[in-house]
Homo-oligomer: A and B are copies of this chain.
């Protein structure tokens, strides 16, 4: 870490970093916030930290999840703000080759114009979080086998969930601190979600892949949904006659944005972090998973882009997949760079050595914890033996959606349906049936036989190359592959087999696909659909792989809690659990950062940078309406969203808050609990913080609420929405659409 610390000795950097130079690690559970009172107070917070623990109060009652993204209510009529990149599915669902909302954006002039976001779109409002550790992990006979332990926990989780959902809410029972703690989370699940407003891609995705994960940033990454419920206020599926949901709490969008030095909070649903992983797990990620994933994402993007060039419809089908792949690719490169070149992997190794030394230094600790890390390492080593095969089995269904993926779901659904609900795999329990149905409906907008075939071929070439001991026999037999076969020969065999496979499936037809949901296993098999037959053929090996996984999970239920217990004991004090897609709150300051040797990131960007970057095409195609509005601003047109210090409208800002994927769209709150921005990204240099927090350099990227309001007022003419959120729209706005 010496280098990183050394760098900030530079005078200006000190100014940039101010007195609180170090970011505070922690994606805190809301109930932990009151315990942070003294830290927050030291940072100048004068509000009541207790407010964050009250999930049904202000501001937390306004914070929602979209499942994968975060969002928040911003009006009493259920208006929701999130990131533009979180509504791409809805834009894609409502796009046609001749009218691409992913490019043009959309503004509903009236509520009647609000567009259904499509099947599977959801808004989740967390209403309670309950410690159920004893119910889930308590009183398990230490002699229970790992496989049996998995079932015990699995049954308890399912029972607890069922009990909780009796009240009509959606419940999740989740492990925290490697299973040291379990919490039951109850959520209101709103099922009718509609698209209200998304700026054009030239604003909402300005900078595209070039700027993704980068600073300086000038992305207007916001969009608006509205939650709808039945006339009697119940969360029901989409229906025209549904009415806007009236949340008890919503956030005021601040017209003052955020300024350097401001204390800010981010409330949202961070996806996954791995900070409590053992060194060997992280090392495998660095040595194997990340390089492999980077290579494959690169290849897949190339494959999909080539297909998209030749076919406009395919392009539309795969657009979101490409964006997702690119996003992950860049992030993974950043993680790898941070871990290896940035030295975080070595830091992690040193930390684990210290940890082991600490355990060994005390007889009681040694007795209780000494076996844990070696046992975890053994699991990692054992899992590695078939990792190539297991990864391919997981990947073959494709990236976002594919007909093989559908076939596998449908086949497995038929198998699980035959069981008692309590015995079913959680994903196939009755509580998830409507989701399964919606996913199959939603797949229609991304299913593409050309893309599927090309990606499947890509995966099968690697299947052909699998070493002895990891062969997938059923595919060897079906396709005619042999270990050590020349790539060209394998390619011929694969092509011939794919010809038959794709000629023999009707899964791309929505009606046929949906009809299989209601069939038994025997009936499904009787359709003789080639893709279903493949899914059936692969089922046994996948089931065996899942069995192995359950045994490993059972072992980790046994080891993880002790690992976390020891780590918490060693580090002492208050620690936040790894992100697990549950509601969290993080805090920090608006602050620039030394980026690289000789380069500093200023904490804010402005409209001036939009003009600097605008090229009139591609990723930097700022709309003419925006450039005109900037000209008008320069010519003296008044706006309440001007920052007097910058003498410009702020666009994006950096902060020290601790976030990760899933936080996208999270409300950034000022010290008064108003929405002063939206979290939408982190800097490339610090994405490895998912594995080990870099307190010096970690920065999150937000869009300033003033840019959002200025654009709505001066560029997009979103008068109706401005009025709804209590802003006074500019009088002479040009209606740009």
Contacts and interface: CB of A to CB of B under 8 A. Distances in A.
A425 to B, nearest CB: 46
B12 A592 contact: yes
A647 B6 contact: yes
A12 to B, nearest CB: 5
A606 B612 contact: no
Q: Which of A215, A604, A608 lies at the interface centre, i.e. has the most chain B CB atoms within 10 A of its CB? A: A608
Interface string A210-221: 000001111000
Contacts of A15: 11-12, 15
Q: How many residues of A sit at the interface, in one of the four size bands?
A: 35 or more
Interface string A648-691: 10001000000000000000000000000000000000000000
A399 B612 CA distance: 33
Given A6-B648, A12-B16, A646-B6, A606 B600 contact: no
A645 interface: yes
20 contacts: A2-B634, A6-B648, A7-B608, A9-B645, A9-B646, A12-B16, A13-B602, A216-B597, A216-B598, A218-B597, A592-B600, A594-B602, A596-B612, A597-B608, A598-B604, A598-B609, A599-B601, A599-B602, A600-B601, A600-B602
A118 B217 CA distance: 50
Interface in A427-459: none
A132 to B, nearest CB: 46
B594 A598 contact: no
A258 to B, nearest CB: 14
Contacts of A605: 597-598
A598 B6 contact: no
Contacts of A648: 6
A67 interface: no
A11 B645 CA distance: 9
Contacts of A216: 596-599
A3 interface: yes
A598 B648 CA distance: 13
Interface in A4-21: 6-7, 9-13, 15-16
Copies in the complex: 2
Contacts of A647: 6, 9
B596 A341 contact: no
Given A3-B608, A597-B608, A609-B596, A602 B16 contact: no
A260 interface: yes
Interface string A619-637: 0000000000000001000
Nearest to A614: B341
Contacts of A598: 215-218, 601-602, 604-606, 609, 652
Interface in A321-377: 341
A337 to B, nearest CB: 10
A218 B598 CA distance: 9
Nearest to A604: B598
A597 B606 contact: yes
Interface in A162-202: none
Nearest to A607: B597
A609 B597 contact: yes
B11 A260 contact: yes
Interface in A572-592: 592
Contacts of A597: 216, 218, 605-606, 608-609, 612
Contacts of A215: 598-599
Nearest to A594: B602
A409 B111 CA distance: 79
B608 A6 contact: yes
B601 A10 contact: no
A9 B606 CA distance: 12
A517 B12 CA distance: 61
A15 B17 CA distance: 13
Given A217-B598, A599-B600, A10 B645 contact: yes
Nearest to A261: B11
Q: Which of A600, A612, A634 lies at the interface centre, i.e. has the most chain B CB atoms within 10 A of its CB? A: A600
Contacts of A10: 602, 604, 645-646
A66 B612 CA distance: 39
Contacts of A341: 612
Contacts of A7: 608
Nearest to A653: B598
The 9 closest A-B pairs by CB, nearest first: A216-B598, A597-B609, A598-B605, A600-B600, A6-B647, A597-B608, A598-B602, A216-B599, A12-B15
Contacts of A646: 6, 9-10
A21 B7 CA distance: 24
A10 B604 CA distance: 9
Contacts of A600: 12, 592, 599-602
A601 B652 CA distance: 19
A600 B592 CA distance: 10
A342 to B, nearest CB: 9
Contacts of A652: 598
Q: Which of A12, A606, A611 lies at the interface centre, i.e. has the most chain B CB atoms within 10 A of its CB? A: A12
Interface string A107-142: 000000000000000000000000000000000000
A341 to B, nearest CB: 7
Contacts of A6: 608, 646-648
Interface string A1-45: 011001101111101100000000000000000000000000000
Q: Which of A597, A646, A647 lies at the interface centre, i.e. has the most chain B CB atoms within 10 A of its CB? A: A597
A730 B335 CA distance: 39
A263 to B, nearest CB: 18
A311 to B, nearest CB: 31
A120 to B, nearest CB: 37
A333 to B, nearest CB: 14
Contacts of A11: 15, 260, 645
